[in-house]
Amino acid sequence: MLPTVSPNLWSVMPAAIESDPVPSLTQRRSIHILGVGGPGMSAIASALVGMGHAVSGSDVVESAVLERLRSEGVVVYVGHSPDNIGVNVEALVVSTAIPEGNPEIIAARARLLPVVRRTALLPAIAAERRTIAVTGTHGKTTTSSMLALILLGAGLDPSFLIGGELRQLGTNAKWSDGEWFVLEADESDGSGFSIDHEAVIVTNIEADHLEFHGSFENLYRAFERFVASTSGPVVLCADDPNTARLARGMKAITYGLSNEATVRIVGLEGSRSGVDFTVVVGGEELGQVHVPVPGTHNALNACAAIALALQLGVSFDDCVMALATFGGVGRRFEPKGDANGIVFIDDYAHLPTEITAAISAGQDGDWERLVVVFQPHRYSRTQTLWQDYADAFEDADLLVLTGIYGAGEAPRAGVTGQLIVDAVAAAHPEQAVQYVAERESLAAVLASELRSGDLCLTLGAGDITTLADEILVLLNQGRAL
């Protein structure tokens, strides 16, 4: 019997730490951040330092992110210890992933320091600027990054806080003197929807994080309430049925390939070097755009950023110039290297629609073979969505699946990567699929399987991101081919 979804998955998740009140950020504070090396927490640290606060933080392993934070002025500790909470620290910031029993939380509680969740701190940061919220199931990190780059290029000196690193800037957050703040608003637990904002982009709405929202309709209503609370421009994707549904009930600027879009993409062409398209508004061609990252989804992300920027008075020419320099975002179709005629690209895609988009971008490169390696993310998500992956890999020449990256979840009986293998095999019996259950075995298997002319595309939100580096080491050592 195939596994079924528990009617109350959220009940088996660890209880989240309740947030204490957030200290006022209008005066200089000394703040310690637990798990500061993560994408969300490192962005918070960078923003707080830019605001003039004294920031320290800790994480379990050394990383390039910690080195960057040190260069920005953050005091960083490797390992968790009560001693990391300095005598001047006034508040501890934690994420929902940190258990209450962490020694630094215990130390902070003993000193009666406020323990503040990241999600409670974000509204206080956003309150200091005119906030543009970018949200949606897919594409919000790239869209936020493109918009921030456009506003920077236009001389508006924006602040931004994003879930991925803008590769050309080497950071995921910056606090500046300009009036605008570009914020990636997370829908996963509804916390991003508590932020006051003046403008909003919604890229799309699909069924995800239902362990929190309970049903798709609840998720949709959460988006609807958030958009309705926007005091200024609302930008929605005309190509996504659910954001198009939102647009029908309110005054909004829409964008996309659809003939119904306010800001339309026409003449779309893709290649290994990126996408080119023309923007049409009200029947008038504004001009051509080149974005040096491939994929139709990136054309849509760019169009969303253009649509919002135009509402802020940015010229179309400034949009074009900024997007032409876009260097991409970490883990979003990120080149990892090449060896023996094999090219490696890594992408965060872990939901079916994201996977289809990443593979489509790979197809634009006209490679001899497109070899896709996928690591499912979370047992709960796999248990809920395994059948939805059946068609996502259809255009891969070879699909290699590995075991599930739990992301802190305990394994569930009968829930493995084999579920997705079986779904793909049933829908596309002719497709070449391999299942390598052990993540540790992947590099050796791929090093012997790959050949000159291949694009190896690694997909997933877990530690699959290091696989390309592991394979490159083997290839460069001459252990394969």
pLDDT in tens, 251-275: 999 999 999 999 999 999 999 889 9
Per-residue pLDDT, 189: 63
| Strand stretches in 157-283, DSSP E | 159-166, 171-174, 180-184, 199-202, 234-237, 253-256, 263-271, 274-281
Helices (H) and strands (E) in the chain, counts: 15, 21
Average pLDDT of span 32-39: 94
Name all contacts of 169-173 with Cβ < 8 Å and 24+ positions apart.
170/68, 171/46, 171/68, 172/39, 172/42, 172/43, 172/46, 172/330, 173/42, 173/43, 173/44, 173/45, 173/46, 173/47, 173/50
pLDDT at 12 over 80: no
Rounded CA gap, 154 and 211, in Å?
41
Q: Tokens 């200290």 sit at which residue?
A: 23
- Is 140 labeled as catalytic in the residue annotation? yes
Structural domains of the chain, with CATH: 10-117 (3.40.50.720), 129-323 (3.40.1190.10), 334-476 (3.90.190.20)
The model's pLDDT over 427-447, given as tens digits with 9 standing for 90+, comes to 999 999 999 999 999 999 999
Catalytic residue among 119, 137, 141, 243: 141
pLDDT at 106 over 80: yes
pLDDT at 356 over 90: yes
Give the CA diameter of the chain.
64
Per-residue pLDDT, 298: 96
The residues facing 331 across adjacent strands are none
Per-residue pLDDT, 217: 87
- The rounded radius of gyration (Å) of the Cα atoms in the chain is 22
Confidence of residue 9 (pLDDT cuts 50, 70, 90): very low
Q: pLDDT higher for 328 or 89?
A: 89
Secondary structure of residue 190 in the 3-state scheme: coil
The model's pLDDT over 71-81, given as tens digits with 9 standing for 90+, comes to 999 999 999 99
Average pLDDT of span 334-360: 95
- Is 440 labeled as catalytic in the residue annotation? no
pLDDT at 14 over 60: no
Average pLDDT of span 401-425: 96
Per-residue pLDDT, 210: 59
Average pLDDT of span 363-372: 94
Q: How many other C-beta atoms are found inside a 10 Å radius of the C-beta of residue 8?
A: 10
The model's pLDDT over 209-246, given as tens digits with 9 standing for 90+, comes to 656 556 888 999 999 999 999 999 999 999 999 999 99
Of the candidates 152, 222, 186, the one whose C-alpha atom is nearest the C-alpha of residue 38 is: 186
List the alpha helices (DSSP H) in 157-281. 210-213, 216-228, 241-248
pLDDT at 379 over 90: yes
Instruction: Put the strands of the sheet holding 115-117 in their side by side order.
Output: 75-78, 54-59, 30-34, 91-94, 115-117
- Is 184 labeled as catalytic in the residue annotation? yes
Average pLDDT of span 369-388: 96
Catalytic residue among 140, 174, 243, 458: 140
Rounded CA gap, 148 and 322, in Å?
10
Per-residue pLDDT, 212: 59
The pTM score is 0.84
Per-residue pLDDT, 119: 86
Catalytic residue among 104, 165, 184, 409: 184
pLDDT above 70 covers what percent of the chain?
93
Confidence of residue 350 (pLDDT cuts 50, 70, 90): very high
Per-residue pLDDT, 269: 96
Confidence of residue 8 (pLDDT cuts 50, 70, 90): very low
Lowest mean pLDDT among 100-109, 149-158, 192-201, 308-317: 192-201
